[in-house]
Structure 1
Amino acid sequence: MKKLLNLFLALFLLMVVGCKKETETLDAGNINEYYPLAVGKTFLYRLDSTVLASFGSSLAVKSFQAKDSVESTFTDNQGRLSYRIFRFIRDTAGLKPWQSLATFVATPTHENVEYIDNNLRFIKLHAPISEGYTWKGHSYIDTKSLNTTVGYLDEWQYEYKNFGQPFKAFNTTFDNTVTVFQQDETTPPGPFDPKNYQQRNLGTEVYAKGVGMIYKEFLHWTWQTTPPPAKYEDGSYGIKLRLISHN
């Protein structure tokens, strides 16, 4: 009788584990749902750009409208379907004509989304999309060689947070989103003191189901005290994008 009870208990535990795994699989988000792309799609953002000011003695924020337009597709050197995306900017009131700013390449696969920005290949999303999942978002970027200019991107570990939660970007709340936490680090830690060296790195993006990227915040600056005068290093910059509308 005892052996029979143990057998039933073992079978029950196997069923519970199997159901749990099935639930986890069903709950995981699909990459194509959170990053849907098609030629002709456009995304209108409020862009706040952090730039050097006063010969590096301070930082300033300049604001624009930015439009990302999915212009065409092509096959990359690995035989994968890729999308060419043009970014245009204009004044925040939308009174002046659009001006070309940058070109990006996005390559979504069943496993991840690769995104080329300024010749740097980022892994923006990675399967499975589920709470707490992590990956190395900069594994294709040279962050260690003596000649690199992006050493501050070294070893960033991306992590999904707030999966399935609502998020407000600009004036619209999206019901089902996932946040990609990238980095939030101040070295050395503590409040800013102009007498001391400090570096700040911050990165986060939010994707809405059925839409794509609705929010982005990136900030990198290095305050250098030697040689005097103290100032922000060249290459210090930031960008914030908040989705206004899309088609």
Structure 2
Amino acid sequence: MSKLSDLLLLFTALLLFSCGEKKADFTPASQVKDYFPVQIGKSITYRIDSTVFVKSGSQIEVHQYQVKHSIVDTTRDNQQRLTYIVQRSIRNADGSGGWSNNGRYYITPLENSVEVVEDNLRVVKIANPVLTGRSWKGNAFLPIGPYETAFGTQAGKEMNAWEFTFKSQGNESIEGQQYSDVWTIEQSNRIMNLPPPVSNPGYGSMEVSSEKYSRGIGLVYRNYQIYDFQPGYGDNGYQPTYAGFGITMWMIDHN
């Protein structure tokens, strides 16, 4: 056998060995369907702290509830894509009282992402690949200032430019419950001049949003704070006011 043939055989052996090593070490990335499972009959119940501003925005109150999210049916969206209908039901925070209707929203699972439409606002909640540092513009479908008309707030005016990012993965304890394989998706963490300083308070805003998903369960935690603070002016009797809302929710039960 010639030296050239020997070299070719050696090169082929090294190539095959190298390819074999890469194949053995390869671990497929998690998929969005692992963290956002959907099927008719699935339900998750959350405890919710809802921050609201009362008395013309001059006072802050936190209202507490239990809210159950139940997938009750399917439909087709305006692009003829399979979409799941989620019924929300609400009751007292301590679990007492009957469930009351709290509206519906829609989940459209796609091959590489999951879209959720709530109050006519479409958000890409999660997207492949599920990897640390992976980001996407989850609010790209939203208009400018989506909450300005309903809540009178300037906070979140440009939230359609937010970068959703997979920040961390691991086991977590959330409100006393242990979860395995949880991904945290950070959407925004912008706080300006809040809480307002006691002396000479100026305009402040809160745009904080993050979600946590557990493999095989789905959303187990959400922190969503969209509000701003206006110092007192002459045209409002120098009354400082807040506008917007806040939601903190965590899972307490699922099937």
> Normalising by structure 1, what TM-score?
0.85
- In 2, the alpha carbon distance for the partners of 1:154 and 1:78 equals 21
Unaligned runs of 5+ residues in structure 2 are 151-155
- 1:23 matched to 2:23? The reply is no
- In 1, the alpha carbon distance for the partners of 2:232 and 2:49 equals 29
Change over 3 Å in CA distance of 1:148–1:123 after alignment to 2: farther
Counterpart residue number, 1:113: 114
- 1:239 matched to 2:244? The reply is no
Alpha-carbon deviation of 1:232?
A: 0.6
Counterpart residue number, 1:103: 104
Alpha-carbon deviation of 1:15?
A: 4.1
Counterpart residue number, 1:193: 197
- In 2, the alpha carbon distance for the partners of 1:96 and 1:135 equals 41
Per-residue Cα deviation, 1:163-217 (whole angstroms, up to 9, x for no partner): 2x012233321111111111110135x7522521100110000001001101111
Q: CA RMSD in A?
A: 2.9
How many residue pairs were aligned?
A: 235
**Could you tell me which amino acid in structure 1 is paired with residue 222 of structure 2?**
K
- In 1, the alpha carbon distance for the partners of 2:179 and 2:40 equals 23
- In 1, the alpha carbon distance for the partners of 2:232 and 2:159 equals 23
Alpha-carbon deviation of 1:54?
A: 3.7
Paired residue secondary structure (2:161): coil
Counterpart residue number, 2:83: 82
Per-residue Cα deviation, 1:143-162 (whole angstroms, up to 9, x for no partner): 279x8775152411000022
- In 1, the alpha carbon distance for the partners of 2:145 and 2:89 equals 32
Taking only the aligned residue pairs, the percentage that are identical comes to 29
- In 2, the alpha carbon distance for the partners of 1:171 and 1:144 equals 36
Residues 141 and 160, structure 2, Cα contact 8 Å, conserved in 1: no
Unaligned runs of 5+ residues in structure 1 are none
Residues 171 and 244, structure 1, Cα contact 8 Å, conserved in 2: no
- In 1, the alpha carbon distance for the partners of 2:61 and 2:102 equals 19
Counterpart residue number, 1:93: 94
Alignment equivalent of 1:178, drawn from 174, 180, 183: 183
Residues 169 and 244, structure 1, Cα contact 8 Å, conserved in 2: no
When Rg is computed on C-alpha atoms for both structures, the one with the higher figure is 2
- In 2, the alpha carbon distance for the partners of 1:179 and 1:136 equals 16
- 1:216 matched to 2:218? The reply is no
> Normalising by structure 2, what TM-score?
0.82
- In 1, the alpha carbon distance for the partners of 2:22 and 2:58 equals 59
